[in-house]
Amino acid sequence: MKDKPNLLGWTCPRPLQNYPTIVMGHGAGGRMMADLIEHLFAPAFDNQWLRQMGDSTAIDLSSIVHRPSFGQLAFTTDSFVVSPLFFPGGNIGELAVYGTVNDLAMRGAKPLYLSAGFILEEGLPMETLGNVVTAMAAACRKAGVKIATGDTKVVQRGHGDGLYINTSGLGVIPAGVDIGPANALPGDVVLASGTMGDHGIAIMSVREGLTFETEIKSDSAPLHGLVEAMMAAGQGGQRKGGLRPPLQNPIHCLRDATRGGLAAVLNELAGSSKVGIEFDERKVPIRPEVNAACEMLGFDPLSIANEGKLVAIMPEEMAEKILAAMRSHEYGKDAAIIGRVVAEHPGMVTAKTAIGGMRVVDVPAGELLPRIC
């Protein structure tokens, strides 16, 4: 794990300067931990809810739940154990925020509040932690979410791989929105929001010593803005201000294509909805460098993790409009229609190959092993 000196402009505040690395005391609940919170976490994440500093944070949702637009609360959790902590295009802090924001967004929810639990390994350089926390704070501002509560623990050296983060998230699903994995119907169209495989290959490139002509960066990004644009386009235009209940649900399924990649997501959706999915390999957007790296390492780009891409399934008549909205959005520029939902072979995903043949696209088996033979 490389320490990047001060790249996010974080300077170690006075009391913490006595400790260049995390020690067991920082998790013990006493003075040292209080200093860590007071001088690192609290200033970085500062907001009115966090300032309560209670055992739990009280949040007044009455103004939200009493609106006619309020449908349901969305609640999710995710843990982040990526190694290395910093990689081209991102870091564990950003992932911890965007990953949970995206889980909420995949149900059509507007993300509001996050919790942040840190498990620090004794010996983690304070500067590294400072950089991660600064990145998280920036990610929260970009995503428009607040970290309302948190926790810190320290584990002994050798037990933690540097740093693990857990974030849970609360969001609000508008009334009448029903986006879920079991909603796909035969005849629906399948879309991908952009190039597949970037994140996994960015990580792999650090591990395998690969370089690229154009550097492959992780695609780590918050997708709720994209989802909002998609939902609005499905109803025939952007709505300004508050959400009014949609007349019909334009989108059936959303899934972010994280571990296991496109192949895993399509199989999950096919399984949950009890439908078959057929797509065209040539229509899946993949960067040439990612393709090249996959050829070289023997990976299938369809099985590689993404951190800022989603798969959407929707009725055919919605597709063109929604696709246009996606392409106009920062995180959907390379969006494409890749296939359709069918009644045949429920639970199974097939793909038309480059030569016009057909193959079954299975759930990737376990940890990716670079293929030699």
For residue 370, the minimal CB distance to another protein (Å) is 4
Q: Are 224 and 173 in contact (CB under 8 A)?
A: no
DSSP β-bridge partners for residue 154: 120
158 binds another protein (CB under 8 A): no
For residue 327, the minimal CB distance to another protein (Å) is 24
d(CA 183, CA 314): 9
Q: Tell me if the bond preceding 84 is cis, omega within 30° of 0.
A: yes
Nearer to another protein, 29 or 298 (CB): 298
Nearer to another protein, 9 or 209 (CB): 209
End-to-end CA distance of the chain: 31
367 binds another protein (CB under 8 A): yes
For residue 39, the minimal CB distance to another protein (Å) is 37
Q: Which of residues 186-215 bind another protein (CB under 8 A)?
A: 205, 208-214
344 binds another protein (CB under 8 A): yes
Instruction: Name which position in 295, 316, 317, 320 contacts another protein (CB under 8 A).
Output: 295
How many residues touch another protein under the rule CB under 8 A: the total is 44
Burial (CB count <10 Å: 0-12, 13-18, 19+), residue 329: buried
d(CA 62, CA 41): 28
d(CA 47, CA 202): 33
d(CA 306, CA 211): 19
Stretch that binds another protein, among 6-14, 172-180, 181-189, 293-301 (CB under 8 A): 293-301
Helix residue spans in 236-327 (DSSP H): 261-273, 288-297, 316-327
Nearer to another protein, 168 or 272 (CB): 272
Binding mask 302-341 for another protein (x = CB under 8 A): ----------------------------------------
- DSSP 8-state secondary structure symbol assigned to residue 37: I
Nearer to another protein, 205 or 258 (CB): 205
What is the chain's length? 373
Phi, psi (rounded to 5 degrees) for 165: -130, 135
Nearer to another protein, 330 or 367 (CB): 367
Nearer to another protein, 9 or 158 (CB): 158
Binding mask 347-366 for another protein (x = CB under 8 A): xx-x--xxxxxxxx-x--xx
d(CA 188, CA 250): 11
Nearer to another protein, 293 or 322 (CB): 293
Among 81, 151, 162, residue whose Cα is nearest residue 122: 162
Nearer to another protein, 63 or 211 (CB): 211
Residues in contact with another protein by CB under 8 A are 205, 208-214, 271, 274, 287-293, 295-298, 344-348, 350, 353-360, 362, 365-367, 369-373
